[in-house]
Amino acid sequence: MLLHALIPASRANGPGLRAVVFFQGCSVGCVGCWNSRTHPFHGAEVPVDVVAQDLVRAQAQHTLEGVTFSGGEPMQQADSLLRLIQGLHQQAPELSFGMFSGYAEHELAKGRYWTWGDGSSEQHRRRLWQEIRACLDFAVVGRFNQAQPGSQPLRTTRNQVLRLFSHRYTPADFSEELTEVSIKEGGRAEVTGFPTRGLPW
Ligand code: SF4
């Protein structure tokens, strides 16, 4: 899979303490996207099982509640995403799973999304979404639309929808939007969460 970044522990990307996997690559093209460095489909290609091992290590180190998939566009690497979720579910069944996707749910359900590098059929993509959806506890779906700014939990624009696919969470489990800044060794700052006026996005 093409990986942009992995944050081992975050409180800004869903309920509780979660690892965040940022897929590299997105062709959806939302105007004003604040994460354009994740758009090109090139960079670090990492085996799915290596990413899974890193996440299991992070889970042991931080007692994570779950993993959130972001990007980039996770559904444009749907095969890898499904294999990653299935591998994690086997190794750490207590983890919950969430996802941010720029696609609307009806596009995903009809297989009307593009996938990187495989030329898969609509039927295959429909089945992939059904399998991924069955594993997810929540997803935020829909384009970033800068004409409709919003501030509901995990949603930057009002058209985006928070979907709960299991009984694990209720809407009350999703806190207000947070911006998280981690200072790494060597002083490098890593910013995740949601754009706030005045921050350098
Ligand atoms: S789907 Fe996400 S990463 Fe892709 S352009 Fe839209 S906001 Fe940016």
Q: For residue 70, what pLDDT is reported? A: 98
Residue 196 pLDDT: 53
In a domain, 76, yes or no: yes
Q: How many domains does the chain have?
A: 1
d(CA 107, ligand 1 centre) in Å: 15
Classify residue 201: in a domain, yes or no.
no
- Model confidence, pTM: 0.92
Give the pair of three-digit tokens for residue 176. Answer: 């207000």
Residues of the chain with pLDDT under 50: 197-201
Distance of alpha carbon 37 from alpha carbon 124, whole angstroms: 29
- Phi, psi (degrees; rounded to nearest 5) at 169: -125, 155
Output the pLDDT for position 180.
79
Domain assignment present for residue 200? The answer is no
**Residue that has been written with the tokens 């509780």 in this structure:** 16
Query: Does ligand 1 have an atom closer than 6 angstroms to the CB of 29?
Result: yes
Residues 177, 194: contact at Cβ < 8 Å?
A: yes
Q: Which domain holds residue 139?
A: 2-193
Is position 72 within any domain? yes
Residue 70 belongs to a domain: yes
Does the residue 153 lie in any domain? yes
* Cα 40 to middle of ligand 1, angstroms: 12
**pLDDT the model gives residue 184:** 67
Whether residue 199 is contained in a domain is answered as no
Pick the residue whose CA is nearest to atom 6 on ligand 1.
30
Q: Kindly give the residue spans of alpha helices, DSSP state H, lying in 17-101.
A: 48-62, 78-91
**Is 198 part of any domain?**
no
- pLDDT score of 200: 46
